[in-house]
Amino acid sequence: MSIARASIDKALITWILMLVCLLGGIWGFATIGRLEDPSFTIKNAIIITQYPGATAEQVAREVSEPIESEIQKMGEIDFITSSNKPGVSRISVNIESTFDGTELPAIWTKLRNRVADAERSLPPEAGTPIVNDNFGDVFGVFYAVTAPGFTDAEVHNISEYLRRELLAVDGVADVAVAGLPSEAIYVDASTSIMTNLGIGPSAIAGALANTDSRTTSGSIVQNGQDIRIQAPEGSDTVDEIANLTIGIGGDVIDLLDLASVKRDRVKEPTEIIRFQGEEAFTLGVAGKADLNIVDVGDRVDARLAEIMRDVPAGVEMHPIYQQHVVVDEASNAFLLNLAMSVAIVVIVLALFMGWRAAVVVGVTLLLTVVGTIFMMAIFGIEMERISLGALIIAMGMLVDNAIVVAEGMQGDMAQGKNARDAAEDVATKTQTPLLGATVIGIMAFAGIGLSPDATGEFLFSLFAVIGISLLLSWVLAITATPLLAHYFFKVGTSQGADHYSGPMFRAYRSVLSVALKLRYLVILGLLAITVLCYIGFGQVKQQFFPDSNTPLFYVHYKLPQGASIHRVSEDMQVLENWLADRDEVKSVATFIGGGATRFMLTYAPEEALPTYGHLIIRTDTLEQIPPLRADLEAFGRSTLTSGEFRTERLAFGPGGGAPIAARFSGPDPVVLRSLALEAEKALRGASNQLQDLRTDWREREFVIVPQFADERAKAAGVGRDDLAQALQFGTDGIQVGYYREEDRLIPIIMRSDSAANEGGAHLADLPVYSDAAATYIPVAQIVDGFGWEAQNTFLVRRDRVPTITLQAGVPAGVNASAVFNQIRGAIEAVDLPEGYTLEWGGEYESSTDAQASLGGQLPLSLIIMVLISVLLFGRIRQPLIIWLLVPMSVNGVALGLLGTDLPFSFTALLGLLSLSGMLIKNGIVLVEEIDLVRADGVPFREAILDASTSRLRPVVLAAATTILGMIPLLSDAFFASMAVTIMGGLGFASILTLIAAPVFYYSFFPTERKEDAMASKSA
């Protein structure tokens, strides 16, 4: 007994299967985890090491090099980069993408051990390296908090309260706070009084360091009880610090006699954040892995609504990005698109096959979709952008199985067969070809989902969902569809009548008959069209990932190295004021000194630099971004001429970095800068569509270099460290201790009362204390003046080799891939000295790596697909006919993309794979039908005509329903190019299936063709 017949005979089991799919899908949709992007492990750790007083080159040589050398011994490392600034080493460790998230904890432990080993080789002045392996955490619920009129201490208390309360929300993993005002206790000492009294800075520093230190005081044993002795309480207010006394040479001096003490903001903060031009700090909330971010976000919003009632009036929360809202809207949009697609399928089927067939196929399609969601919930596959896209991609293949079975049963039953016999007849002919074609369709995506690297991890849900949905569609097509057809289709009385005698079938049969006669002209025509379309496809714009449909875009602004963060802040305020007058701008979040907290997986925060400014601009609608962005570009570039100004659209997929980037590596920084300069000239000459040319090393920075007079300094008993301390005391100040305020540690900074002086004219007059002479000596007496020197203050290394990257952007709307092809030859023609290399980065590297990863798995998938097709037929010619059609599927894709001016993006590539699967499936079923008709003894040519005519309606209906079902996706930025790829490609593929496949079949069997001709003559 066949499965299809059994599905009717044992209807209860089939009904149970259908109810499980339906009810399970409802349960799955209610409980399945929801995310914006797939759970993806960012295999990156950051190592920060402080090395106060060292130049960038010294940091690279004495700190980064030993740590990198030790890390390089790990077999798991892909590449290492380091950025070296004066006093700070920042090393980025990137793990091979073939390691998954479960292996990372052990790798991070191994990394920490390596860093600990390297620490023994660091200079004694260097700090302990700090390893941060949480760099990839995503804080998708992202708020700005404004508190005008509140003191800095009150703002800190408010932030701590909010963070503490949000951490208690169920499902919250972490809460990150950024942008809080930085304070310090400043002790401004009078250098003239200190000089007259002969008081050294160390005496004051020692007293301040112990104002509120924590020390143990021992314990005593009394009556068998161990009693701890409490240390004396220190100075825990600013007034108490100001009233300190200092013992010097038997005398006691009040600190207020020497210095003024005040609490104030630090002169050069590391970060400034504003929202709508108002000072703010940010709260980023990260949900726990594998949880429904919509539920977590809703609980966070509910808790915020509660606790804001207890927060002082005037404190306001402003959403910058709400991942749970974005995900919820995407889920609702998917449901709408799904409902529209199913409705389109039902309407089209109702028009061409009648309402009964429409109900049968529509219900089967609905059961397949909800059943897939049920399986996704069971296997822990979240509902996110990629998995939702997989369901949409699979839609065209899902409906095909049900249409083939329903159409076959409808025809048989119209000719008088009962439902059981019709089901058995159709299933016997089609279930094996459909299964083979379904597996081939799944294998088309196996190269993506089974890739062992980051691409496979990110896109695994695509392969899994397509595999589940297609297999389930086959199961339901041979179980649910026959049972539903049994209930809905009527048994006809037209025994022996031709079911395919309608005008559409007759017209197609006539066209195909002519095509068979003119087969050589048809084949030549197809080849000519294919060549032309491949030429046209070369003109299609290329794009890695499309722009996002979230109405956000960015501004990046950088002043030359050495610029003050306050100067950047002033320039950002100019942009804020301009944007405040634009009605389409909904909100502006400003970040100065670094990027925002990572609020979405594809957002890559810029490295912290005081010269960097960043705006996150939200508009009301997506359509408002292009004109606003163009106006802002014109204003920013014409107004802020001192810095580098550029805008960037929020994109699906990895963000950050320049679209075009060329890396030059070699030992000498001077040579590297000259190579970058030469390459920049070549870029400007090769294309006029480049903008924002820059290097990641930025500009050299002027540094004041004191000329230390060794002999005079030795005679005075002054060392280099004494001079450095005196200069620091006279400028930025020396941190000498901490002031404790609850859980905060506020630094105490001692500085000269002349530290606020602008410029360096006072440096020569600063006093240096000599311990040997117990007196002060002017700086001018121990230096031979001050010199100026241009230094590299931002050095980047890649895999331990100094590497400078020349970066360039392209204007909005210009395709980066096309510009890259224009300039590639000019850059590669730059003459490289021995020991220097060139590597391409940017969008070219990203897309090349992704395609290489995909290409590495495709051969195995292709072999399996070909092998299945050969095993299905047990012959070579039939599979060859089918596979000859696949290269021609690009024809419709090229026409569709050129006609709509859309780029061929990564999602379009997925659509092309889906198209190939649909084309192969249709080809298999058609060729199998021809073989079956021939096996019944029908003459060769008539068998081709009869079989092709019987497949006309399933092919046309499957194509029509799929093409029309893609219409709702044309307005979706992420899926638009994929929808056009499938629509254009499938339209042309249908012609290939119905005309080219029969013509190829007729041409590939010359012996049968001659025998058929001889039989016709004899007749």
pLDDT of residue 756: 65
3-state secondary structure of 264: strand
pLDDT in tens, 947-958: 888 888 788 887
Q: How confident is the model at residue 66 (pLDDT cuts 50, 70, 90)?
A: very high
Give the pLDDT of residue 299. Answer: 92
Are 483 and 409 spatial neighbours (Cβ–Cβ below 8 Å)? no
Instruction: Tell me which H or E stretch contains 246.
Output: strand 245-248
Among 21-25, 334-338, 869-873, the minimum mean pLDDT is found in 334-338
Q: What pLDDT is recorded for position 806?
A: 93
Q: Which two tokens stand for residue 140?
A: 């998708």
The DSSP call for residue 418 is -
Q: How far apart, in Å, are the Cα atoms of 278 and each of 270, 318, 743? A: 18, 11, 27
Q: What is d(CA 897, CA 979) in angstroms, rounded to the nearest whole number?
A: 10
Binned at pLDDT 50, 70 and 90, residue 163 comes out as: very high
| 462 vs 756, more confident | 462
pLDDT for residue 910: 77
- Number of other CB atoms surrounding residue 693 within 10 Å: 18
Can you give 107-123 as a three-state secondary structure string?
HHHHHHHHHHHHHCCCC
Q: What's the confidence (pLDDT) of residue 493? A: 57
Q: What is the mean pLDDT of residues 669-673?
A: 93
Residue 810: Cβ-neighbour burial (10 angstroms; 0-12, 13-18, 19+): buried
> 840: which strand partners?
662
Least confident of 35-44, 67-76, 916-925: 35-44
What's the pLDDT score for residue 115?
A: 94
Residue 970 has pLDDT above 90, yes or no: no
Residue 143 has pLDDT above 60, yes or no: yes
Under 8 Å between Cβ of 993 and 955? yes
Q: What is the per-residue pLDDT for 753?
A: 82
Q: What does the pLDDT read at residue 1016? A: 67
In whole numbers, what is the pLDDT of the chain averaged over residues? 85
In this prediction, residues 543-560 reach a mean pLDDT of 83
Longest dimension (CA), the chain: 135
pLDDT digits (tens, 9 = 90+) for 906-929: 778 878 877 887 788 788 888 888
**679 C-beta neighbours (distance < 10 Å), count:** 24
Between 112 and 244, the more confident residue is 112
Q: What pLDDT does residue 150 have?
A: 92
Chain segment 583-615, per-residue pLDDT in tens? 999 999 999 999 899 888 778 788 888 999 999
pLDDT of residue 1019: 58
Q: How far apart are CA 202 and CA 771, in angstroms?
A: 10
Confidence of residue 389 (pLDDT cuts 50, 70, 90): confident
Neighbours of 756 (CB within 10 A): 10
What SS3 class is residue 732? coil
**Residue 21: which pLDDT band, with cuts at 50, 70 and 90?**
very high
Residue 304 to residue 604: CA distance in whole angstroms? 27
In angstroms, the Cα distances linking 430 to 113, 424, 425, 936, 994 are 60, 10, 9, 16, 18
Q: Which pLDDT score, from 0 to 100, does residue 272 have?
A: 94
- The yes-or-no verdict on residue 965 having pLDDT over 80 is no
- State the average pLDDT over residues 91-107: 85
Q: Which range, 54-58, 437-441, 964-968, 992-996, has the best average confidence (pLDDT)?
A: 54-58
Give the pLDDT score at 231.
59
* Cβ neighbours of 629 (radius 10 Å): 20
The amino acid present at 170, given as its one-letter code, is: D
Q: Is the pLDDT confidence value at 766 over 90?
A: no
CA 678/CA 672 separation, integer angstroms: 10
Tell me the mean pLDDT in the region 616-624. 91
- 369-383 pLDDT per residue, tens: 899 999 999 988 888
The closest of 454, 449, 616 to 548, measured between CA atoms, is 616
pLDDT of residue 1007: 81
Q: How confident is the model at residue 730 (pLDDT cuts 50, 70, 90)?
A: confident
Quick one: pLDDT at residue 217? Answer: 65
203 vs 185, more confident: 185
| Residue 454: predicted pLDDT | 66
Residue 305 has pLDDT above 80, yes or no: yes
Task: State yes or no: pLDDT of 137 exceeds 60.
Answer: yes
User: What is the per-residue DSSP string for 543-595?
Assistant: -SSPBPSSSEEEEEEEPPTT--HHHHHHHHHHHHHHHHT-TTEEEEEEEESS-
Over range 813-837, report the average pLDDT.
87
Q: How far apart are CA 130 and CA 757, in angstroms?
A: 35
What pLDDT shows up at residue 575?
Answer: 95
Task: Supply angle C-alpha 130, 136, 138, rounded to 5.
Answer: 125
Residue 235: other Cβ atoms inside 10 A: 17
Mean per-residue pLDDT for 777-783? 87
Residue 665 has pLDDT above 80, yes or no: yes
Percentage of the chain with pLDDT > 70? Answer: 93
Q: Is the pLDDT of residue 453 over 70?
A: no
Count of alpha carbons within 13 angstroms of residue 914, beta-carbon side: 37
What is residue 499's predicted lDDT score, i.e. its pLDDT? Answer: 62
